[in-house]
Amino acid sequence: MNYFSINQVFGQPDFSILYQLINLMNFFTRLKAILVVTVVTHTLGYAQYSYGIKPIAYEAYTNSVKHNASNELVNLEKFIPGIVLDIRYSTTNNFTDEKIYNLARAYARRPVAEALKKAQAEFALQGVGIKIYDAYRPYGATVKFYEVYRDTTYVASPYKGSRHNRGCAVDMTLVDLKTGEELKMPTEFDSFKKEAWPSTKIKDPQIKKNRDLIISVMEKHGFKVNASEWWHFDFIGWQKFDVMDIDFEELE
C-alpha cells in the first residue's frame, strides 16, 4: 500500500491565508478592547448626567466668557465690600449632614454680582448687611441633594438643573452691622417647613419686618424670592445662562 503525505494529496499549504486570518482575529480583538474602554469611560464620565441634561464644563465656560463678559463667575467675597460668608455646604451643618464643597466660596455671574453689590449698599443704609449661605452651585451637588431628598418643593430637580447651577441664585440672610448677629427670620436656613414660605403669615412683628426688608430690597435690585424659601433669591433673567458643573477649585 502506498502512503501519501498531506503535501502530496493537498499540495503545499498557503500560509499567507493563515496569516491573514490571524491578523483579522487580532484586529477584532483590538476593536473589542477599544469598544469596552469607550463604554466604560462614557459610563463613568456621564453617570451623574443621567437626568437628561449635560452641563457645561470649565473649558466651555471660559470660552463663553471670552464671547460674553456677563458669563463670568465673580468671587462675591472679593467683589462686594463687607459681605459675610457662611457656606454651609462646605461643612456638615446642612440638611445632608455631609460636606459637599471642599472650599467655602461664593460665586455668581457678573450681572448677579453687580446687582447684589447694589443691594448690599442699600442694606447698609438700614444698618444691616448680607450673609451668603450659598451662591453658584456645581450641578453635581444638585444631583446629590436630589438623591438625598427628592421633594422638589425644596430641592431642585436634576432634570432641569438649578438656578444655582447657572450662577443666578443666592441663599442669604441679613446680619446686624454693629453686632454681626443674624437678624431673626421665620426659620433657619434650609428648613423644609411651611413657615419658610414667604407667603406664610407671621405673628412676630420683628420677624415679619426683617423678612419684608430682605425681600423688598432684593426684589428692587432684580431678584425674585423663591416660593418655598425666604432665603433663596433668583436673578431675573437666569434663563439666559447655562447650567454648569465646575468645581470651585477650577475657578481659583
Contact yes or no for 235/109 (Cβ under 8 A): yes
Write down the pLDDT at residue 27: 62
What is this structure's pTM?
0.79
Cell 447657572, residue?
A: 166
- Specify the fold of 56-251: Muramoyl-pentapeptide Carboxypeptidase; domain 2 (3.30.1380)
Contact yes or no for 219/34 (Cβ under 8 A): no
Contact yes or no for 17/205 (Cβ under 8 A): no
What stretches in the chain show pLDDT beneath 50? 1-6, 9-10, 33-47
Write down the pLDDT at residue 58: 97
Q: Which 3 state secondary structure label does DSSP give 157? A: coil
Chain centroid to CA 248: 10
Mind listing the pLDDT tens digit for each residue in 47-77? 457 888 899 999 999 999 999 999 999 999 9
Write down the pLDDT at residue 57: 96
C-alpha cell at 199: 407667603
Write down the pLDDT at residue 44: 34
In angstroms, the CA 163 to CA 135 distance is 9
Contact yes or no for 156/164 (Cβ under 8 A): yes
Mind listing the pLDDT tens digit for each residue in 228-247? 999 999 999 999 999 999 99
Write down the pLDDT at residue 52: 87
Name the residue ranges covered by the structural domains of the chain. 14-50, 56-251
